[in-house]
């Protein structure tokens, strides 16, 4: 659940909890945890996919090249971003829906109002190709969405190809429920999985107006 940390009121954790109840995209591996009591310590085995829960797509996810998750520049994952509230858009976000709202920003997060409540809903809102082209034309380096995929359930893959083909970082299944539209600072860190097509990630926002000496304690 997204929300402000009690001790640091300017922060939002927009990462969904990852558990065996986390809904997955049809055909994906369902998360499974295998805890083991080893006497002096506990150890848990994990079975899940590179796209379980809140995650980041590597270009190789669709381009099938060597641009794996460990090669995404850290500079693309940390810095200013804008949250856009598009919860009034149903089905597909178009370029017109973004007009005048993404100028002068390098990272955007799209809030569609997606909330699975423990089950996968194929009717979620995704990005249309006109919106993807508008994003890539403005030099945006990262785009995230609260839906399980950046494009609609019956999409052709053209949205992924447009964004990933232009080197744009794609983040999916964010928890933006309690985040107001506005400008923030973002930190999005995937696991450094060598050669793989994506990774679960921890994604944090904090108010961009917070003085530097108040960010960390």
Q: Which residues pair with 79 in a beta bridge?
A: 186
Question: Choosing from 16, 51, 55, 61, which is the catalytic residue?
Answer: 61
Q: Are 206 and 185 in contact (CB under 8 A)?
A: yes
Q: What is the CA radius of gyration of the chain?
A: 17
Is 51 catalytic? The answer is no
Smallest Cα–Cα separation from 210: which of 2, 12, 3, 13?
Answer: 12
Smallest Cα–Cα separation from 16: which of 180, 113, 170, 146?
Answer: 146
Interhelix angle for 129-137 vs 158-165, to 10°? 10
> Measured between alpha carbons, how far is residue 90 from residues 97, 111, 112, 123 in Å?
11, 12, 8, 9
The sign one gets for the Cα dihedral 101, 187, 118, 4 is negative
Q: Point out the residues that are catalytic.
A: 61
């Amino acid at each position: 659940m997204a929300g402000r940390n009690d001790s640091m009121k300017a922060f939002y954790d927009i990462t969904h909890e990852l558990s065996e109840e986390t809904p997955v995209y049809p055909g994906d591996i369902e998360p499974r945890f295998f805890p083991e009591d080893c006497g002096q310590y506990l150890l848990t085995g994990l079975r899940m996919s590179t796209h379980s829960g809140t995650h980041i797509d590597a270009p190789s996810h669709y381009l099938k090249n060597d641009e794996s998750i460990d090669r995404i520049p850290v500079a693309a994952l940390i810095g200013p971003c804008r949250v856009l509230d598009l919860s009034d858009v149903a089905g597909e976000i178009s370029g017109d829906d973004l007009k005048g709202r993404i100028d002068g920003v390098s990272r955007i997060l799209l809030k569609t109002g997606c909330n699975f409540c423990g089950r996968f809903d194929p009717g979620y809102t995704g990005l249309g190709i006109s919106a993807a082209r508008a994003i890539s034309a403005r030099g945006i380096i990262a785009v995230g969405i609260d839906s399980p995929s950046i494009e609609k359930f019956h999409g052709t893959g053209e949205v992924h190809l447009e964004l990933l083909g232009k080197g744009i970082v794609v983040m999916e299944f964010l928890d933006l429920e309690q985040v107001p539209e506005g400008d923030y600072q973002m930190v999005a860190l995937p696991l450094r999985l060598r050669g793989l097509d994506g990774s679960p990630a921890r994604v944090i926002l904090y108010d961009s107006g917070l003085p530097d000496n108040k960010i960390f304690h």
